[in-house]
Amino acid sequence: GGGTARLYEPMNRHTTFLIGGPAQYWVEPRSVEGFAEVVRYLRSHTVPIRVIGRGSNLLVRDGGIRGAVIHPAKGEFEDVRVEGETLVVGVGARLKKIASSARNAGLGGFEWMEGVPGNLGGAIRMNAGAMGTETFDQIVSIRFIDTDGQIQEKPLAEIEHHYRNVPEFEERYIVSAVLKGTPAPQDEIDIKLAASHQKRRTSQPVGASAGCAFKNPEVCGAGKLIDELGLKGRSVGKAIVSDIHGNFIVNSGGATAREVLDLVAEIQEIAQRERGVQLEMEVKV
Ligand code: EPU
């Protein structure tokens, strides 16, 4: 389908953590049909499949990835189209671009996306959110490649989703979605966009990371908890707990996945021992 493929592609080039060994096969389809064709081919040869978009919530191990990594982030996957009060968005569109397209169309509700690094696919896959909104608040329907390699579509009501967890798309691959907005004056949208941008700039680190490392437990924010436990600045090798936000682990330059995972385990152990809180990773390994 007009795409490209490479062997042994280093994943540190494709993750915001700048960490990760090589993927055996790296495939960049350019069209939905090309994507489906690749899935059917790989399935028929029992090659394991992973899909990576912006790689912003991901820790790839140092040994890399066995099998194929599909990267649907170019060509028609980047499209954002306005249709009335909805946006029809390709899986590879950046959240930032969705926020600005909605703004230009006078549609509110997407402002939170301004402060989140990632593509639509990743946001749906994990029901990402910020500033009190999550992706599924705005989903109308999702198009995906089903386990048989055929393209299907489901409305919101038929898609199981939870806080930072969407089991539906583990073996089904999102290709696009319809998202709903609310008409709003552009200056009102601009104020919220600025707040979103400001929030990220002032309360989150700029260094290489995968966003929040842990899900917020029910009792309190993970960042606040890690901060209270005095763990900011704690490090294993080049992996360090951010001084700005306790729930961010930053790669201060050449950190390995092993170092990140060891730091994660230390934090989990201390939170369990000191507070009886079980911290669950939000970043996908
Ligand atoms: N806080 C501290 N110390 C810290 C971090 C936070 O005291 O080191 C306090 C803050 O001052 C604030 C409270 O904890 O009073 C909550 O912090 P924040 O507003 O940053 O929100 P959060 O619950 O820590 C969540 C999301 C973020 C998202 C922000 C902003 C999760 C796990 N995290 O963080 O999402 O950007 O809200 O809306 O749900 C991500 O998912 O990767 C992510 C970064």
Q: Which of 247, 248, 264, 282 is the best mutation target for the ligand 1 pocket, counting ligand atoms within 8 Å of the beta carbon and taking the most?
A: 247
Domains 79-187 and 206-275 belong to one CATH topology: no
221 Cβ inside 6 Å of ligand 1:
yes
Residue 183 pLDDT: 98
Lowest mean pLDDT among 29-33, 132-136, 217-221, 260-264: 217-221
* pLDDT average, residue stretch 127-140: 95
Residue 1 pLDDT: 55
6 Cβ inside 6 Å of ligand 1:
no
Q: Kindly state the percentage of the chain with pLDDT values over 90.
A: 97
Residue 177 pLDDT: 98
131 Cβ inside 6 Å of ligand 1:
yes
122 Cβ inside 6 Å of ligand 1:
no
212 Cβ inside 6 Å of ligand 1:
yes
Q: What's the token pair of residue 246?
A: 């306790």
**Is it the case that residue 2 has pLDDT exceeding 90?**
no
Residue spans of the domains in the chain: they are: 4-70, 79-187, 206-275
| Dist. CA 280 → ligand 1 center (Å) | 15
205 Cβ inside 6 Å of ligand 1:
no
CATH number of 206-275: 3.90.78.10
**Pairing of β 65-70 and β 22-28:** parallel
Q: What's the token pair of residue 93?
A: 């569109």
Q: Kindly state the percentage of the chain with pLDDT values over 70.
A: 99
Q: How far apart are CA 189 and CA 185, in angstroms?
A: 7
Domain over 4-70 is classified CATH 3.30.43.10? yes
Which CATH number is 79-187's, of 3.30.465.10, 1.10.3720.10, 3.40.1390.10, 3.90.550.10?
A: 3.30.465.10
**Contact of 130 with 122, CB cutoff 8 Å:** no
| Confidence band, pLDDT 50/70/90 cuts, at residue 261 | very high
Which ligand 1 atom is the nearest neighbour of the CA of 215? 32
95 Cβ inside 6 Å of ligand 1:
no
Tally of residues, the chain: 285
State the chain's mean pLDDT as an integer.
96
Cα separation values, 131 from 112, 116, 196, 258, Å = 6, 10, 8, 31
Q: Quote the Cα angle for 182-53-129, to 5°.
A: 40
Q: How far apart are CA 49 and CA 65, in angstroms?
A: 10
247 Cβ inside 6 Å of ligand 1:
yes
Q: Tell me, what amino acid is at 152?
A: Q
Segment (H or E) for 201: helix 186-203
15 Cβ inside 6 Å of ligand 1:
no
| Dist. CA 54 → ligand 1 center (Å) | 21
pLDDT in tens, 58-78: 999 999 999 999 999 999 999
| Confidence band, pLDDT 50/70/90 cuts, at residue 3 | confident
Q: Quote the Cα angle for 56-61-63, to 5°.
A: 140
| Dist. CA 215 → ligand 1 center (Å) | 10
Q: How far apart are CA 113 and CA 129, in angstroms?
A: 8
Q: How far apart are CA 93 and CA 118, in angstroms?
A: 8
Q: How far apart are CA 230 and CA 235, in angstroms?
A: 12
Closest residue CA from atom 11 of ligand 1: 224
What lies within 8 Å, CB to CB, of 84 at 6+ separation is none
66 Cβ inside 6 Å of ligand 1:
no
Give backbone dihedrals phi and psi of 54, rounded to 5 degrees, phi first.
Answer: -80, -15
